Amino acid sequence: MTTTLRPEGDEHPWPGGGRSRRWQIRVNGRPVGGLRTTALPRGDQWWGEISELEVVEGRRRGRATIGALAAEEVLRGWGCSRVDVAVPADARAALGLARALGYTERMRNMAKRLTAPPELPPGLTVHRIGPSEYEEWLAEARAGYLADLTASGLTPAQARAKSDADHLQVLPRREATEGVALRQLRDAGGSTVGSLWVALRQGTGPDGGPLAWVMVVQVDEAHRRRGHGRALMLVAERECLAAGVHHLGLNVFSSNESAAALYTSLGYRVTLRVLGKPLY
């Protein structure tokens, strides 16, 4: 019995020179499922993604495993240095398969439906990040993101490439970029204790309405363990509701256990897990 991949339709170009293709998983020439491979540029490197993996005939016979391994070979041929898979929170079989193939969790998506604006702790005030604060804020945001990316399993070069690409894409006009909330949190003495970046229209929520996304929550080191991270998340929820957005999502890196615990305590639930591994 021979299991192979066969192209299903044409290859599709992606922005920046990326490429994507849908494949059939075939056994002795008969289609039994399918998957998609995608290669995306990250600086001078290429990252692969495997998605839409499904076996519709003859499950539990190792066909998904063989299909995934064949997809990895496709991505190697496309020059990808690593591969990621995104697994919905309730897809236990897919999660088990990914782990069996050597994938490790890098991060998880969490989300919450917002109802009423929460009250902020007394003595804290919220301020916009303007042109005079932007460069310092951006340097701190980049440093924190690079640390998280490296802790999630990326090499320093991969982390820098992804950080540069992500910030350029989502903040093209710096602090004047439309649809974002850049905020500082200050204490009663006027000291800045942390900052927040929320993209207010980052996707579609489960009810078809807009989905906002927490991009950065940063608490200054000298002010940590005082509840300011929680306060910043309350600011994020208030900003969303003021903009008419009732669903808020975020990424949390798996290595950041304290942040994951905070989000859980605030009512956020895991919706997706991202796992990855190097291809070389």
pLDDT at 58: 66
How open is the CA angle 20-23-28, to the nearest 5 degrees?
160
Domain-located, residue 102: no
Do 129 and 208 have their domain in common? yes
Domain-located, residue 140: yes
Nearest residue to 238 via CA among 117, 115, 122, 121: 117
β-partners of residue 20 are 12, 38
Domain-located, residue 259: yes
**Residue that terminates a domain, selected from 23, 58, 80:** 80
**CA distance readout (Å), 170 to 100, 104, 251:** 35, 27, 15
H or E element: which one contains 63? helix 63-77
Do 24 and 64 have their domain in common? yes
Domain-located, residue 10: yes
CB contact burial 25-64 (16+ within 10 A = b; e otherwise): bbbeeeebbbbbbbbbbbeebbbbbbeebebeeeeeeebb
Domain-located, residue 17: yes
pLDDT at 217: 94
What residue numbers bound the domain in which 119 lies?
112-274
Do 155 and 262 have their domain in common? yes
Please state the domain count of the chain.
2
- What percent of the chain stands above pLDDT 90? 72
Do 230 and 175 have their domain in common? yes
Do 146 and 64 have their domain in common? no
Segment 148-161 mean pLDDT: 83
- What percent of the chain stands above pLDDT 70? 99
pLDDT at 1: 56
**Residue that terminates a domain, selected from 64, 80, 96:** 80
Segment 173-180 mean pLDDT: 89
Do 7 and 137 have their domain in common? no
Do 118 and 75 have their domain in common? no
Do 176 and 245 have their domain in common? yes
Do 119 and 76 have their domain in common? no
pLDDT at 169: 78
Do 194 and 62 have their domain in common? no
Contact assessment for residue 35 and residue 53, using Cβ atoms and an 8 Å cutoff: yes
β-partners of residue 12 are 20
DSSP string, 88-103: ETT-HHHHHHHHHTT-
Contact assessment for residue 32 and residue 14, using Cβ atoms and an 8 Å cutoff: no
CATH of the domain at 154: 3.40.630.30
User: How do residues 114-129 score in pLDDT, each as one tens digit?
Assistant: 999 999 999 999 999 9
**Residue that terminates a domain, selected from 34, 61, 80:** 80
Calculate helix-pair angle for 156-170, 131-151, nearest 10 degrees. 140
Domain-located, residue 279: no
Domain-located, residue 224: yes
Domain-located, residue 94: no
Do 75 and 121 have their domain in common? no
Do 65 and 133 have their domain in common? no
Segment 149-169 mean pLDDT: 82
